[in-house]
Amino acid sequence: MTTKVLSLRLPEEIAAQIAAVARANGVSVSRAIRVAIEDYVAAELSDQAFKARLKKRLEEDREIFERFTK
């Protein structure tokens, strides 16, 4: 699996909370954040309203792409 390094800014309180949760679960902060992101993405992908917004955005992007590549 390839990875991408991202920079993330969090309020100090949230950073402290995620660090405490990670320690309590015996995982790294990076792992705890990855799991949270995976859960967020999975929830969005199962939401019909999100799928409709995504489809609309992709259609808009495709129209722009086609205008630029004529």
**Short-list 42, 68, 65, 44, CA closest to 54:** 44
* pTM of the model as a whole: 0.78
Which pLDDT does position 70 carry in this prediction?
82
**Which parts of the chain register pLDDT below 70?**
none
Distance CA 70, CA 67 (A): 6
pLDDT at residue 1, as a whole number: 85
